[in-house]
Amino acid sequence: MTPIPPSEKALVPFVSVENMMRLIHHIGIEAMLKGLAGYIKADFKRWELFDKTPRIASHSTEGVIELMPTSDGEVYGFKYVNGHPKNTSEGLQTVTAFGLLADVRSGYPVLLSEMTVLTAMRTAATSGLVTRYLAPKGADTMAMIGAGAQSEFQSLAMKALAGITSVRLYDIDPGAVAKAARNLAGTGLNVTACNSAEAAMEGAQIITTCTADKQYATILTDNMVGPGVHINAIGGDCPGKTELAPGVLRRASIFVEYPEQTRIEGEIQQLPPDHPVTELWQVMNGTAPGRTDARQITLFDSVGFAIEDFSALRYVRDHIGGTGFDFDLDLLADPDDPRDLFGMLMRAGTG
């Protein structure tokens, strides 16, 4: 990462929601999904360099507010994110987020960005990247169970990164299915609206579950899942919030981002703490196998990890220059004499 010139260190580039959307359209949605996946893969392959900790969560009856920090020793990053399933009934987003990168040597922030839209993009990019490693050969159809805010991003990531051509949609809310089908029209995907999860899974080699309720739920029962499929379980991302029956987990080869976090928040919170899992970074650097058998059930127990957000922010910082899609924030005090912060304050009062 290029050091910030001294004359600019007091100003922090900020990417707003509006400018993030402009950047995505400037690059192209599928092109940016591919780019994000490349950055995530590169950072996973240097996994051992990063500080790693389960996200710091504050739970309430309404939802959760979390901080997700990490550092590779040169750059520090964190994301603030919430998850409030009831928000949609009040016209609010279930998930909102912002993130920051900072220079480890000085501690100065070097980027502040919205991450509500960016998190949707990085989550989808991660799913697509992992699916490319774990899906059965020749997979061309995905069942998308849960047609909320993630569904279109997930569908386009599977097209861009895993080569699917068809999406079968189901949600308990028919309006959500109609919304997703409408948004995916013209993307090159063959979209089918289904009236049940079972119907959505017919002919699908990839199954993605992404529902929002903060409660133990069973979106997929054991008898719904046949051999040879790949499952992306995305909706279970905090204690007490799951989507799959334990029987599915026991039959599957399970792949996770960071076991210490996933055992608390993911589907595997339903299993004994010593149940074997494979870490994705090991698959990506070639030290652990991915799919090994055509009849194997592979499961990505996705909860989201700070390194993925770090990768996404790094991608934005590397691609925002010269676009005009950011502006500088006067976020840091910058007295002429670093020891004279009070003098700077007093001079401001006499201007």
Which domains are present in the chain? 11-117+307-333+341-348 (3.30.1780.10), 127-304 (3.40.50.720)
Among candidate residues 43, 72, 171, 237, the one labeled active-site is 237
pLDDT greater than 60 at residue 1: no
Whole-number Cα distances in Å, 122 to 98, 196, 217, 278, 310: 13, 28, 25, 21, 10
Structural tokens at position 203: 């002919």
Contact 166, 189 (CB under 8 A): yes
* Beta bridge mates, 244: 220
| Residue 215: predicted pLDDT | 66
- Predicted local distance difference test score (pLDDT) of residue 350: 83
Q: Which residues pair with 216 in a beta bridge?
A: 242
Per-residue pLDDT tens for 46-70?
999 999 999 999 989 888 899 999 9
Structure tokens at 190: 């063959």
Of 121-130, 309-318, 330-339, give the lowest mean pLDDT range: 330-339
Kindly report, residue by residue over 239-293, the tens digit of the pLDDT: 788 899 999 999 999 999 999 999 999 999 999 999 999 999 999 999 999 999 9
Helices assigned H by DSSP within 252-295: 259-265, 280-284
Q: What is the pLDDT of residue 5?
A: 46
- What per-residue confidence (pLDDT) applies to 7? 44
Residue 8 above 60 pLDDT? Answer: no
Residue 288, phi then psi, degrees to nearest 5: -145, 145
Whole-model pTM? 0.93
Q: Which pLDDT score, from 0 to 100, does residue 3 have?
A: 47
Helix (H, G, I), strand (E, B) or coil at 65: strand
Candidate from 42-51, 86-95, 154-163, 255-264 with smallest mean pLDDT: 86-95
pLDDT band per the 50, 70, 90 thresholds, residue 218: confident
**pLDDT tens track for 316-329:** 999 999 999 999 99
List the one residue out of 11, 280, 275 whose CA is nearest residue 130: 280
Residue pointed to by tokens 């074997």: 276
Strand bridging mode 298-301 / 253-256? parallel
pLDDT reading at 212 higher than 70: no
Phi/psi of residue 136, nearest 5 degrees = -65, 150
For residues 55 and 306, give the distance between their C-alpha atoms in angstroms, rounded to a whole number: 8
CB 37 within 8 A of CB 30: no
Q: What is the mean pLDDT of residues 118-132?
A: 98
Run of H or E residues at 114: strand 109-114
**Active-site annotation holds for 43:** no
Indicate if the pLDDT at residue 217 is higher than 90. no
pLDDT at 214 over 70: no
What's residue 216's pLDDT?
Answer: 67
Angle (CA) 331-304-315 rounded to 5° is 50
What's the pLDDT score for residue 351? 62
238 against 33, higher pLDDT: 33
For 307, phi then psi, to 5°, come to -65, -35
